[in-house]
Chains A and B, each alone.
Chain A
């Protein structure tokens, strides 16, 4: 997981696994990002394993960002992320194109 900051935009790059084993770690990171930045980019291009816990956390993140008026965009989405979100009915909530 990488996290970089340029001006006020934060970038979080997910590793290949975003499942329940990593949920606590990313939960902390995502919460931290919301506290730090007004604009956040997510890079999910490398995700090749994501489960219900990972998707649910992302959904909560998008809801929290919206309530804080923080803009969030996807820099990259892996096919597995897209497919898993689609199957879980979360494409809209995660604003995946």
Chain B
């Protein structure tokens, strides 16, 4: 009997993803020296399982590659080899390679073996390291040849050709092409050509979608030096999932370069390595060379760069990893899956059982119904409602995953960036088992990365600065998550320098965001970092500040129905607190009535509500009214004006005022009546109709009518636009 193994391949790949996470976190623990003996055993077992599974499924590239890793790990766990920083870094690179190979296996595409081969060679070199001293001279000599060859090669390459095709939604993610072009322009001489062929007519275009694509020629500049591919890729780091990107070397016409010349010449050959070995210092130099090689992407896939064309510059036919990634993305994706605990499934089955019993009871009641059984019917319906609510909760729990899935990327991020910035940083994580909806988790990842990068870059000081300030030279970044009400709270804090209050205020005054006379609380001053365009040049580095700003972080979190706040103590550190709903599918809403229409305000947006006191209204005209609440004036928004509906009354005394907040601002919404509060299932307007400013979605109420859900940020913008348009409000 033969078994079709392909049905289990997806499960193997998912398990391998988890194995790779174990490998990575274990290696990071080994690197920081905090690991006990069990960690190296766990790392070895993870590699061993991946190798075994890969062999079973015929994924020989993965099996062969992991075999070399496993051998190195075996020597480390037996104590035959020291767990050195170089070895750990090489193994971390190997994990990255394995991830790429797994992605290819997932998509059933041919893996790009160039990087895998290079890293495998380095592993081989490290493994044959017993007679290092004897081979040092030979390899140093190899390195010298390598440099010469690279120099020679560089002379043929004049820069890079970048083909950028943003996906439609890219601009909406807060990523801006102009900012990207500005960054590119700092690297060399840039010339970009826009392709407008995809641009629809003005009338029919959605101004927030992206329709253009570009070809950018980025030439090396004598003063700025040769441009590394990694530097370009770093600029596109934030958008690599939101665009199709191709980065190709721009070659000057020189001579033919054969594939043989270009493949593998920068590393000791297997014959060399078989003959002997190298010291780890020399090996590290090879790793550096490999990184440069990877940057410049010279290794080709058995293709020949010929110079027969008439043009003076041409494109080498190699393909960048990002392009390959984009190509892979064009293939139909395997549907995502969730691993669910059996207890959750059991609970679901119990609920369905209860539901069937209730349904059966109601059916029987319906067959022999009389008015005397009315109370029994009511009881049955109440039971049905309870069952459905419990079933709903059980189903929602299935989508809930521990936030550790999101947290697990940070140890590597902190490890790599702290090395890059020569800072000493420890990452402490708590509350990793706190659960939230998978969809929320997927969307909160990028904003969290941005905040952690900010803490690394701007928060934690350099070791000598910390020592001078009387602090431990090791900075600490903490990630913490916990549930509070119907929300998950995520805190990202550092023990760094804190936000510079006076500098922020100075900049805000300079930019005209506040006037020098304004008496702002510290809280409001710190909140200025979330203001669009507040980022300044001196805040931008290659670690943070690229492509996406704090305003976008806040916008993304708001789009999830959450909020982000910052608190800071000068000299002691900064804490960002993110509050998110546990799920995006259901919202706690307040039903309000305006005329004959029923709208829904998300409860999270409501601060308070009360009857209108006319004496507290000040107005220049009806389009610009403010309401005084305690010591604060907030704009008054007449919803019937904004939505152009006939109100039940325009008499202010008969109206109710709902104070809401959105995008950092407050407003008072004038409504006819407050109805009930209830959980509503959100239906997308964009999917079912089109995007409508001021509304985040719609829902179907119990009586079958459709009710629109207000988007507070959009509504405040809509209202302010109307207020700035004379006569409209009184029309």
A binds B: yes
Minimum Cβ distance to chain A for residue B52 (Å): 48
**8 Å CB contact of A53 from B199, B208, B717:** B208
CB of B526 within 8 Å of the partner chain: no
Q: Is the CB of A20 within 8 A of B533?
A: no
A26 contacts which chain B residues (CB < 8 A)? 207
Q: Is chain B's binding surface mostly helix, strand, loop or mixed?
A: mixed
Which residues of chain A from 16 to 75 have any CB-CB distance to chain B below 8 Å in the complex? 17, 19-21, 23-27, 30-31, 34, 49-53, 55-57, 59-61, 63-64
A24 contacts which chain B residues (CB < 8 A)? 207-208, 693
Which of B182, B194, B216: most chain A CB closer than 10 A? B194
Q: Is the CB of B194 within 8 A of A89?
A: yes
- Given A27-B207, A34-B202, A52-B210, does the pair A59, B196 have CB atoms closer than 8 Å? yes
B158-172 interface code vs A (CB 8 A; 1 in, 0 out): 000000001000011
Q: Which residue of chain B lies nearest to A93 when distances are taken between CB atoms in the complex?
A: B196
A90 contacts which chain B residues (CB < 8 A)? 194
Q: Which residue of chain A lies nearest to B184 when distances are taken between CB atoms in the complex?
A: A87
CB of B201 within 8 Å of the partner chain: yes
Q: Is the CB of B171 within 8 A of A52?
A: yes
A57 contacts which chain B residues (CB < 8 A)? 202, 205, 207
Minimum Cβ distance to chain A for residue B442 (Å): 22
Q: Which residue of chain B lies nearest to A62 when distances are taken between CB atoms in the complex?
A: B202
How far is A27 from B533 in the complex, measured between Cα atoms in Å?
21
Q: Is the CB of B202 within 8 A of A56?
A: no
CB of A84 within 8 Å of the partner chain: yes
B210 contacts which chain A residues (CB < 8 A)? 52-53, 56
- Given A21-B532, A27-B205, does the pair A50, B178 have CB atoms closer than 8 Å? yes
**8 Å CB contact of B194 from A19, A49, A93:** A93
Q: Is the CB of B200 within 8 A of A60?
A: yes
Q: Is the CB of A56 within 8 A of B212?
A: yes
How far is A93 from B191 in the complex, measured between Cα atoms in Å?
15
CB of A88 within 8 Å of the partner chain: yes
Count the A-B residue pairs with Cβ separation under 8 angstroms: how many?
Answer: 94
Minimum Cβ distance to chain A for residue B703 (Å): 33
A31 contacts which chain B residues (CB < 8 A)? 202-203
B205 contacts which chain A residues (CB < 8 A)? 27, 57, 60
A27 contacts which chain B residues (CB < 8 A)? 202, 205, 207
**8 Å CB contact of B177 from A30, A60, A63, A88:** A88
CB of B138 within 8 Å of the partner chain: no
Q: Is the CB of A88 within 8 A of B190?
A: no
**8 Å CB contact of B178 from A21, A55, A64:** A55
B177 contacts which chain A residues (CB < 8 A)? 51-52, 55, 88
How far is A63 from B200 in the complex, measured between Cα atoms in Å?
10
Minimum Cβ distance to chain A for residue B156 (Å): 26
CB of B609 within 8 Å of the partner chain: no
Q: Is the CB of B208 within 8 A of A51?
A: no
- Given A20-B172, A30-B202, A87-B185, does the pair A52, B178 have CB atoms closer than 8 Å? yes
A93 contacts which chain B residues (CB < 8 A)? 194, 196
A23 contacts which chain B residues (CB < 8 A)? 207-208
Q: Is the CB of B208 within 8 A of A61?
A: no
CB of B214 within 8 Å of the partner chain: yes
B178 contacts which chain A residues (CB < 8 A)? 50-52, 55, 84, 87-88
Q: Is the CB of A64 within 8 A of B202?
A: yes
Minimum Cβ distance to chain A for residue B397 (Å): 37
A53 contacts which chain B residues (CB < 8 A)? 171, 176, 207-208, 210
How far is A85 from B445 in the complex, measured between Cα atoms in Å?
32
B172 contacts which chain A residues (CB < 8 A)? 20
B185 contacts which chain A residues (CB < 8 A)? 87
A34 contacts which chain B residues (CB < 8 A)? 202
How far is A4 from B177 in the complex, measured between Cα atoms in Å?
31
Which of A24, A84, A93: most chain B CB closer than 10 A? A24
Q: Which residue of chain A lies nearest to B170 when distances are taken between CB atoms in the complex?
A: A52
How far is A84 from B176 in the complex, measured between Cα atoms in Å?
11
Q: Which residue of chain A lies nearest to B533 when distances are taken between CB atoms in the complex?
A: A49
Which of B178, B192, B194, B205: most chain A CB closer than 10 A? B178
How far is A25 from B207 in the complex, measured between Cα atoms in Å?
9
Q: Which residue of chain B lies nearest to A80 when distances are taken between CB atoms in the complex?
A: B178
Which of B196, B201, B532: most chain A CB closer than 10 A? B196
- Given A52-B176, A53-B207, A57-B207, does the pair A87, B202 have CB atoms closer than 8 Å? no
Q: Is the CB of A89 within 8 A of B200?
A: no
- Given A60-B199, A60-B200, does the pair A87, B207 have CB atoms closer than 8 Å? no
Minimum Cβ distance to chain A for residue B244 (Å): 16
CB of B181 within 8 Å of the partner chain: yes
How far is A58 from B201 in the complex, measured between Cα atoms in Å?
11
Q: Which residue of chain A lies nearest to B511 when distances are taken between CB atoms in the complex?
A: A48
How far is A74 from B196 in the complex, measured between Cα atoms in Å?
21
B196 contacts which chain A residues (CB < 8 A)? 59, 63, 93
B216 contacts which chain A residues (CB < 8 A)? 89
How far is A9 from B281 in the complex, measured between Cα atoms in Å?
73
B194 contacts which chain A residues (CB < 8 A)? 59, 88-90, 93
How far is A89 from B216 in the complex, measured between Cα atoms in Å?
9
Which of A31, A55, A59, A60: most chain B CB closer than 10 A? A60
Q: Which residue of chain A lies nearest to B204 when distances are taken between CB atoms in the complex?
A: A60
A88 contacts which chain B residues (CB < 8 A)? 177-178, 181, 192, 194, 214
Q: Is the CB of B202 within 8 A of A60?
A: yes
Q: Is the CB of B721 within 8 A of A25?
A: yes
Q: Is the CB of A64 within 8 A of B192?
A: no
Q: Is the CB of A89 within 8 A of B202?
A: no
- Given A20-B172, A23-B207, A24-B693, does the pair A56, B192 have CB atoms closer than 8 Å? no
Q: Is the CB of B201 within 8 A of A60?
A: yes
Q: Is the CB of A51 within 8 A of B202?
A: no
Q: Is the CB of A87 within 8 A of B190?
A: yes
B212 contacts which chain A residues (CB < 8 A)? 52, 56, 59
How far is A75 from B149 in the complex, measured between Cα atoms in Å?
55
Which of A17, A55, A56: most chain B CB closer than 10 A? A56
How far is A50 from B177 in the complex, measured between Cα atoms in Å?
10
CB of B211 within 8 Å of the partner chain: yes
Minimum Cβ distance to chain B for residue A32 (Å): 11
A73-86 interface code vs B (CB 8 A; 1 in, 0 out): 00000000000100
B693 contacts which chain A residues (CB < 8 A)? 24
How far is A87 from B717 in the complex, measured between Cα atoms in Å?
30
How far is A49 from B194 in the complex, measured between Cα atoms in Å?
20
Given A64-B201, A84-B178, A93-B194, 18 more A-B residue pairs with CB atoms under 8 Å apart are: A19-B532, A21-B532, A26-B207, A31-B202, A34-B202, A52-B177, A52-B210, A53-B208, A56-B210, A57-B205, A59-B194, A60-B201, A87-B181, A87-B182, A88-B192, A88-B194, A89-B193, A89-B216
What are some 19 contacts across the A-B interface (CB < 8 A)?
A17-B532, A19-B176, A30-B202, A49-B533, A51-B171, A52-B177, A52-B178, A53-B171, A55-B177, A55-B178, A56-B199, A56-B207, A56-B210, A60-B199, A60-B200, A60-B205, A63-B201, A84-B181, A88-B177
Top 10 A-B pairs ranked by shortest CB distance?
Answer: A52-B177, A23-B207, A89-B192, A87-B181, A64-B202, A89-B194, A27-B207, A60-B202, A51-B176, A89-B193
